[in-house]
Amino acid sequence: MKMKKIDTRKVQILKLIIEEYIQTGEITGSKSLLKKYDLQVSSATIRNDMAALEKMGLIFQPYNSAGRLPTTRGLRVFVDYLMEQMPWVFLEAEQAVVERAVDARLDDTLYLLVSRLMKITNEITFACIPSLGANYYLGISNFLEKNTLSLGSDVYNIIKVLENKHHFIDLLEGLDIGEKVSVFIGEENIFPDLESCTMVVKKINIEGKTGYLGILGSLKMDYAFNIAAMRNIL
């Protein structure tokens, strides 16, 4: 379901619930939304909107709590909204990366892209050229620091996927990645070991060779900023 098919207030409620989830990982209820934001409607109206979003499969009610969390489908709707609506305003300084690397060897160029993207996003970043079997990734320590507590031992399975270079390249080639930025949330990733992750990726062309540049993070990543970073890095 596309975001534009939901009325404006429900869009706002979904967006706030997802942003609260990304920032805190906590459930969000109607009272907390009204206390924190000037929504100019009653608590009953917010509860009705949340019930409607739940019927759409965009949020769910964990346990017996009155609050809600976003579903993977809800995150997908949110990301689709960002992809359509978000202006290209971030990271103007990054647009000169290719110019600075034009005389560098291909592997140096890949490393430069991965390194700069990692510093910008503080996530796992990767770049590969399948035809050459080249694959680079950075940011493992960032990922472990941010997600070990919430993901437990699953973080090590995610790292194993990255370390199996040929397997990871096969994963990327098996995904429907377009010329623009593509986002794969949770089970939209092919490998079960990546179901607790979101991957933001796009095709790149370096010195006539086609490859992929991407970000791998948790479901609670900063979608708006990371999508903007991917759009502008190359």
Taking 3-state DSSP, the helix, strand and coil percentages for the chain, each rounded to the nearest 5, stand at: 55, 20, 25
The β-bridge relationship of strands 69-70 and 59-60 is antiparallel
Report how far residue 133's alpha carbon sits from residue 165's, in angstroms, rounded to the nearest whole number. Answer: 8
Residue among 230, 229, 228, 218 at smallest CA distance from 21: 218
Summarised one tens digit per residue, pLDDT across range 101-157 is 444 577 788 888 999 999 999 999 999 998 888 888 999 988 888 878 877 777 888
Highest mean pLDDT among 2-11, 93-102, 178-187: 178-187
CATH 1.10.10.10 domain span(s) along the chain: 3-85
* Predicted structure pTM score: 0.69
The two tokens of residue 1 are 């379901």
CA distance 87 to 91: 12
d(CA 102, CA 85): 32
- The CATH fold of domain 92-233: Beta-Lactamase (3.30.450)
> Which residues in the chain are classed under CATH 3.30.450.40?
92-233
Top-tier CATH class for 3-85: mainly alpha
